[in-house]
Amino acid sequence: MRVQATATAVSWIPSESVTGALRAGFDLRLSHYDSPPPARLSSPDEVRRLRDADGFRFANVLGVWADVDDDGVHDVGISPSSGLAMGATTTRLAGLAIRFAAVSLPVLRHEPEVLGSGVRVVQTVGGRTGVPLPRPVPHPPFVQWSAPTVWTTLAVTLRPDGTSDVELLGASAFPRHWVYGPDGTLVAKSGLTDPDGWLKHSFGERTPWSSSDSSVLVAEAESALERELSALIMRGGAEPEIRRVGAGAAVMRQGEPGDELFLVLDGVLDVAVDSTIVAEVGPGAVIGERALLEGGRRTATVRARTPARLAVAGADAVDLDRLRELAAGHQREIGATPVA
């Protein structure tokens, strides 16, 4: 019997992820931000369609199949559609839109590892934009003209019963990386972008093509309701305040009054009840709704595990029925086994 699974990592540039020196190029329209990819890839052709529409910067597609019988796995292969789907960079000069082809680097793929529970395949893809990006760097030769390298390292573990696991093992510090499971559903995101670190370090020996991958902090994807609420907070009325917090800072404290709703734009935060961490949240999560519904007191302490950027909205940004639905979902999460 043959079993198979395909996972995809889509990498794109949200407007809120661009900071520091990199923002100047976007403000001059030398590059452009991307609209969020869909919450579900409807078919294998969706990646090609998004690429042709300039909907992302690059994608890592990894399809694995295995022939299995009662004795386990006896043949493993990689789907022909696997590999790198590299987009282009569109710039606007003198009112003209000009597309620069990106530079694709060779696909790095480990030999399939046959495990007692199935088979595991790891694949790295990436490249760099064709537009020069001159800048000083803290490593020899201390000046770089080519753009930094972007990449993702994706792993698929396929079991004889057809079930599978998907992991984002490594990635460049920029841009944002979204991971889709075998059914096309968004399942995870890179939790933190660091454009300044990417500009300084992601070239030469500090890339997987020189045997140096970078670990990535991965957060679970937000719920469908949170995606709806994030659109309301960002574009539904009054412009939200954008707040930056450092690693270790408390966003809210249990028992204190609160009348603000928070949308996580970047970073990973820990949620603690009575000093026990019960959840972690990342980009796309909406938090703080319970105080708005239950007497104005925070029911949990939320602390930034990493530097974070938050959109802050008032109680009137979202109607109460949606806040109650969000609170019910978060209550189920809090009732689960603590993560730390």
Same domain membership, residue 252 and residue 204: no
Phi, psi of 93 (to 5 degrees): -130, 125
Are residues 53 and 38 in contact, defined by beta-carbon separation less than 8 angstroms?
Answer: no
Are residues 286 and 251 in contact, defined by beta-carbon separation less than 8 angstroms?
Answer: no
Same domain membership, residue 146 and residue 18: yes
Q: Would 159 be classed as within a structural domain?
A: yes
Token pair recorded at residue 320: 């109460």
Same domain membership, residue 7 and residue 51: yes
Q: Characterise 235 by phi-psi region: left (phi > 0), alpha (psi -120 to 50), beta (else).
A: alpha
The pLDDT, as a whole number, for residue 90 is 65
Q: Would 312 be classed as within a structural domain?
A: yes
Q: Would 215 be classed as within a structural domain?
A: yes
**Can you say how many angstroms the Cα of residue 166 is from the centroid of all Cα atoms in its chain?**
14
The pLDDT, as a whole number, for residue 339 is 34
Q: What 3-state DSSP class applies to 116?
A: coil
Q: Would 48 be classed as within a structural domain?
A: yes
The pLDDT, as a whole number, for residue 340 is 31
Same domain membership, residue 60 and residue 86: yes
Same domain membership, residue 296 and residue 177: no
Range of the domain at 75: 2-220
The pLDDT, as a whole number, for residue 185 is 96
Which domain-ending residue is among 203, 220, 237?
Answer: 220
The pLDDT, as a whole number, for residue 109 is 95
Which domain-ending residue is among 200, 220, 240?
Answer: 220
Burial of 32 (0-12, 13-18, 19+ CB in 10 A): middle
Same domain membership, residue 262 and residue 159: no
Same domain membership, residue 101 and residue 50: yes
List the Cα angle 137/139/145 in 5-degree steps: 45
End-to-end Cα distance, the chain: 40
Q: Would 339 be classed as within a structural domain?
A: no
Q: Would 251 be classed as within a structural domain?
A: yes
The pLDDT, as a whole number, for residue 264 is 97
Same domain membership, residue 248 and residue 141: no
Same domain membership, residue 200 and residue 113: yes
Which domain-ending residue is among 220, 245, 276?
Answer: 220
Token pair recorded at residue 39: 């919450």
Same domain membership, residue 174 and residue 87: yes
Question: What's the structural domain count of the chain?
Answer: 2
The pLDDT, as a whole number, for residue 336 is 44
Are residues 39 and 185 in contact, defined by beta-carbon separation less than 8 angstroms?
Answer: yes
Same domain membership, residue 99 and residue 54: yes
Rounded CA separation 169/124 (Å): 9
Burial of 47 (0-12, 13-18, 19+ CB in 10 A): buried
Q: Characterise 296 by phi-psi region: left (phi > 0), alpha (psi -120 to 50), beta (else).
A: left
pLDDT in tens, the chain (340 residues): 899 999 999 999 988 777 766 766 666 555 677 889 999 998 878 999 999 888 899 999 999 999 988 777 888 999 999 999 998 766 655 565 666 678 999 999 989 998 777 899 999 999 998 778 889 999 999 999 999 999 999 999 999 999 999 999 999 999 999 999 999 999 999 999 999 999 999 999 999 999 889 999 999 999 999 999 998 898 877 789 999 999 999 999 999 999 999 999 999 999 999 999 999 999 999 999 999 888 789 999 999 999 999 999 987 888 888 888 988 888 644 544 333 3
Same domain membership, residue 201 and residue 239: no
- Residues 6 or more apart whose Cβ sits within 8 Å of residue 49: 55
Are residues 178 and 37 in contact, defined by beta-carbon separation less than 8 angstroms?
Answer: yes
- Residue 328's domain is classified under what CATH number? 2.60.120.10
Q: Would 340 be classed as within a structural domain?
A: no
